[in-house]
Amino acid sequence: KRQDSIVAYRDAGRDDLLKAEEHELELINGYLPALMSEDEIKVTVQKIVSENPSLDFGPLMGKVMGQLKGKADGTLVKKVAQGEIKK
Query: Any alpha helices (H) in 1-87, and if so which ranges?
Result: 2-12, 15-31, 38-51, 57-68, 74-86
Q: Domain-by-domain residue ranges, the chain?
A: 2-31, 38-86
Can you give the pLDDT of all 87 residues of the chain as single tens digits? 888 999 999 999 999 999 999 999 999 988 988 899 999 999 999 999 999 988 899 999 999 999 998 899 999 999 999 999 887
Tell me how far apart the alpha carbons of residues 83 and 24 are, in angstroms, rounded to a whole number.
Answer: 35
Q: Residue 2's pLDDT is what?
A: 86
Q: Is the pTM of this model over 0.75?
A: no
Q: Residue 29's pLDDT is what?
A: 86
Q: Residue 80's pLDDT is what?
A: 96
CB atoms within 10 A of CB 40: 14
Kindly report the CATH number that applies to the domain delimited by 38-86.
1.10.10
